[in-house]
Chains A and B, each alone.
Chain A
Amino acid sequence: MSCDQVHLVEAFYDGEMPSSERDVFAGHLARCATCMAELDALQRLSRELKAVSIPSVSDEALARFHGTASVAEEHGVLKLAEWLTAAAAAVLAIGLTGLFKHDTTHASAPDVWEQAAVAYPTDHDPTVQSDVLQFAEWMRTDLSSSHKYEQQ
């Protein structure tokens, strides 16, 4: 005696069959001796396996597991501290780099307007332009010093 649906019994028994198919299959089970016998065998096997008597964890083993937990916690705190130190160092490094960059920008090349003010025009004539150049130099010095005061 065989049934082409007997392979579905396990999914039904394990509660893994979609609910839409479950009712239909339950109807089939009620009429099919092969599938019912398979269901009985699965139930019997589960009873045998569940009846297995497994000892409890020994107190010594439990103490060892808790020991592992304590060591892990210490190790974890150290790891956390290492991470925080590394993060703080990174923040400090980024901050210092930014500060350094900010200072050097002002100390190095003059601004574009300053360069333009003191630059000789392309059609430069040294005899007629000396007073213009003097005025430009004065303006550059004056504006640079007022810019510094503002910063202070």
Chain B
Amino acid sequence: MEQRGNHIRQEHEEAFLARLRRYEQAAFHELVDRFSQQLFRVAYSMVGNAADAEDVVQETFTAAFSGIGRFRGESSLKTWLMQILARQCARVHRSRGRRMTIGIEKVDQPVHDPSPASESRLDVIEMLQKLSPEHREVIVLRELQQMGYEEIAAALKIPRGTVESRLHRARQELKRAFGYEL
């Protein structure tokens, strides 16, 4: 039963991909509707604020639309989009690093939204920002997106073993930050 469900999903995804490759406008809009929230969630967790996260998602869609012809379908659409998103997040971090280096403004710390937010939300997002980008991306893809090790490895283009070790270190750091006894 589950296999049949997977087969239908796969067929649906292939048909959807074919529509994207034909540059069907409706398919592009469907892609935006299907993935905006997911991508934004991951981007927000990685960059720490809504403005940067929205820019990252916008750049992700732009890159995906222009590169759809080169996507060979070796991974799922979601994995491919996460791959692009991870690159865009890395770009944001590099640009923050550069701005810090030349000392124009101190932007290495996440700028939280001015909107009222619960303490726990601020804490978790802040803690995530304290991780290295490499550790942060694996923990976000695993815990927030429930992606498997192989899927994360494909999205980040790193070996599965590296996913496992980074995930372990990220969890250790977070457990320490949350004050768990290790």
Contacts and interface: CB of A to CB of B under 8 A. Distances in A.
Interface in A38-91: 41-42, 44-46, 48-58, 61-62, 64-66, 68-70, 72-73, 75-77, 79-80
Given A45-B174, A73-B24, A10 B54 contact: no
Interface in B31-70: 31-32, 36-37, 40-41, 44-45, 50, 54, 57-58, 61-62, 65-66
Contact of B31 (A11, A46, A69): A69
Given A45-B175, A62-B36, A80-B23, A14 B65 contact: no
Interface residues of B, number: 44
Interface string A106-125: 00000000000000000000
A51 B50 contact: no
Contacts, number: 115
A55 B113 contact: yes
A10 B54 CA distance: 32
A77 B151 CA distance: 32
B154 interface: no
A61 B60 CA distance: 13
Given A10-B171, A65-B57, A80-B23, A54 B65 contact: no
B32 A55 contact: no
Contact of B36 (A51, A65, A80): A65
Chain A, interface size category, equals: 35 or more
B32 A62 contact: yes
B148 interface: yes
B130 interface: no
A45 B123 CA distance: 13
Given A41-B180, A72-B66, A75-B66, A53 B121 contact: yes
6 contacts: A41-B175, A41-B180, A44-B178, A54-B121, A69-B28, A69-B31
